[in-house]
Structure 1
Amino acid sequence: MYHLRSYLLPSKRLQKDSRRILSEAANVGAVSPNVEIPADSVFKSALAGGISCSLSAAIMHPIDTIKTQVQASTLSFSEILSMVPQLGIQGLYKGSIPAILGQFSSHGLRTGICEASKCVLIKFAPTLPEIQVQSMSSFCSTFLGTVMRIPCEVLKQRLQVGLYDNVGEAIVGTWRQNGLRGFFRGTGMTLCREIPFYVAGSSIYDESKKAAQKLLGRELQPWETVVVGALSGGFTAVSTTPFDVIKTRMMTASEGRSAAFSVVLFSILRHEGPLGLFKGAIPRFFWVAPLGAMNFAGYELIRKAMD
């Protein structure tokens, strides 16, 4: 699930530290206020998360470009697909530089913060239910990681729809149009998309994994876990598509057009109907599902190599 396992489950080293701390807490009846966050483990998790996400984002960028063009225009998915030969490889990879940089920084920060916050929560509140630890750490890490990525997301989408020809033009043009505020256009909608995706999506992943184990009557093989994660991520991606559509329209609004949430929402409903909020759901599914599978496998391999 967009490497949810990587974000929501602590590393083996962190799990050992947690068990040791819980044992000490049971013996003394309290947890020491001196919290020592395993900096080495947190750094490795952050680096592994950043590398795996940036690599998978580079590979899957053409599908993301198609999704963005579908959502930003009134054309259908099939009509955009017919235009792919005209775009060529260069057109499909427009915006890839800010996309890769944004994924590396944001997911690196997310994995690092998630592991560090779990360590703190486990030490200060050892009796806190696991689901609450997961939700709190996932919320904090997703919020901070997403906010860091938004300027890169704005530049990426404006390049993908052809508003600018290169990153330099996109930076200068965005600054001239709206100043610093322009680089954070669509922040609210991005958070509305990302937080449910990671926080609520973790429950879908966990329940899907349990259901698969019960159906097969055994523990899942690594590749089976990846498949469950990919399908769960794809389903969650489709369910959060309306937020993604509104975010895309807000970020790619040309100069002179209002990018306010209410204006964009009513414009979609008036001209395209409720189904307009699900534009790009198909390419979004086929973008997120393999992306999640690659991120999951990549994170695990890189993390094991570092250990």
Structure 2
Amino acid sequence: MADNSEAAKPIPKLPPKQQEVKLVPKIINGGIAGIIGVSVVFPLDLVKTRLQNQVVGPNGEKMYKSMFDCFKKTYNAEGYFGMYKGSAVNILLITPEKAIKLTANDMFRHHLSTGPGQPLPLPREMLAGGSAGACQIVITTPMELLKIQMQDAGRIAAAAKAAGQHIPKVSAWSLTTDLLRKRGILGLYQGTGATALRDVTFSVIYFPLFARLNDLGPKREDGSSVFWCSFLAGCAAGSTAALLVNPFDVIKTRLQAINKAPGEPTYNGVLDCIGKTLKNEGPTAFFKGGACRMIVIAPLFGIAQTVYYLGVAERLMGLK
């Protein structure tokens, strides 16, 4: 029988002051990584949102035929800055979102550890990742809700114009105040269930996969990962998890789209969205924007993990 005496020993805790010092750079690293990542991949994220929200017409007509067609039409109609609609909200809230996700995963892994230096069993890794994903939705839900309205505004305006209608422009601030006035704080949490379904599942897949891929690579003298290994592991784990949870992302995106183009269906919850999408568009609709999402998530998490593991904030704060 295996000796469990080591596992039974309590994990040594850092003094409160040292714990606090270590938490701050983790939050800063998450914020830096999030801002860099969003700035790089946001145009593709906008394309992904528009592809997921567009519905095929009765005669098979579509506004966008592919990812490249959507990119081209959006750029021609709205210009370079049109590709960054909704980015201000994303950049503002991505710091707490990424900080919560990465820091919570580390915290849960620490508390679920079986002992110092012991590898974390896969079920516990999945539990730590899923718990981290559940923590982040307090920020992710309102961030995604506002971002989606801004990203999809151009598509809705073009569809309305073709139908002889006019939809006034909205800003993230006016949308926020309108939702708060009409529905209170809960107005910003439309689609929470679908967001949780996507983010918890994503984190359950992503974090254990990243840890295993990252462990395959070379290490520095202090035992930490080399930057290119963290980057590649983040890209591979992120793109894999993104594709697997894309159906949940399609559901979330459609539920959070407050304004609809003329003729587009409305949905009353996750199950209603699944049923109507299957009936009207078939199972392939759940993988709309899948390639785009993989391309978005891969560098986003590659950059995030690289910044996190390089300890950029620690260097800036003189802790390394």
Report if TM-score (shorter chain) is over 0.5.
yes
Are 1:240 and 2:245 matched, yes or no? yes
Which of residues 279, 303, 318 in structure 2 aligns to 1:270?
Answer: 279
C-alpha contact (below 8 Å) 1:66/1:283 kept by paired residues: yes
| Structure-2 separation of matches of 1:32 and 1:268 | 49
Moved more, 109-118 or 246-255: 109-118
Number of equivalences: 274
Amino acid at match of 1:192: L
Instruction: State the partner residue of 1:126.
Output: 115
Which of residues 80, 96, 107 in structure 2 aligns to 1:89?
Answer: 80
Residue 276 of structure 1 deviates from its aligned partner by 0.3
Which of residues 284, 301, 308 in structure 2 aligns to 1:292?
Answer: 301
Q: CA 1:244–1:32 in 2, change beyond 3 Å: closer, same or farther?
A: closer
Report the TM-score when normalising by structure 1. 0.77
Provide the alpha-carbon RMSD of the alignment.
Answer: 3.1
Are 1:302 and 2:312 matched, yes or no? yes
Amino acid at match of 1:147: V
Are 1:152 and 2:143 matched, yes or no? yes
Q: CA 1:146–1:42 in 2, change beyond 3 Å: closer, same or farther?
A: same
| Structure-1 separation of matches of 2:229 and 2:26 | 23
Trace 1:109-258 onto structure 2 (pairs within 5 A): 109-122=100-113, 126=115, 130-131=120-121, 133-162=124-153, 164-175=169-180, 178-208=183-213, 222-254=227-259, 257-258=266-267
Q: CA 1:302–1:168 in 2, change beyond 3 Å: closer, same or farther?
A: same
More contact order relative to length (CA 8 Å, sep ≥ 6): 1
| Structure-1 separation of matches of 2:289 and 2:110 | 38
Amino acid at match of 1:285: M
Q: % of aligned pairs identical?
A: 22
Instruction: State the partner residue of 1:52.
Output: 33
C-alpha contact (below 8 Å) 1:42/1:116 kept by paired residues: no
C-alpha contact (below 8 Å) 1:159/1:170 kept by paired residues: no
Q: CA 1:30–1:236 in 2, change beyond 3 Å: closer, same or farther?
A: closer
Q: Provide Cα deviations, 1:223-275, integer angstroms capped at 9, x if missing partner.
A: 24422331221121111100000000000043893342222212211221100
C-alpha contact (below 8 Å) 1:105/1:149 kept by paired residues: no
Q: Which runs of 5+ in 2 are unaligned?
A: 56-63, 157-168, 219-224
Q: CA 1:240–1:286 in 2, change beyond 3 Å: closer, same or farther?
A: same
Moved more, 164-173 or 286-295: 164-173
Report the TM-score when normalising by structure 2. 0.74
| Structure-2 separation of matches of 1:209 and 1:30 | 28
Instruction: State the partner residue of 1:102.
Output: 93
| Structure-2 separation of matches of 1:273 and 1:136 | 33
Q: Which runs of 5+ in 1 are unaligned?
A: 1-24, 214-219
Q: CA 1:169–1:205 in 2, change beyond 3 Å: closer, same or farther?
A: same
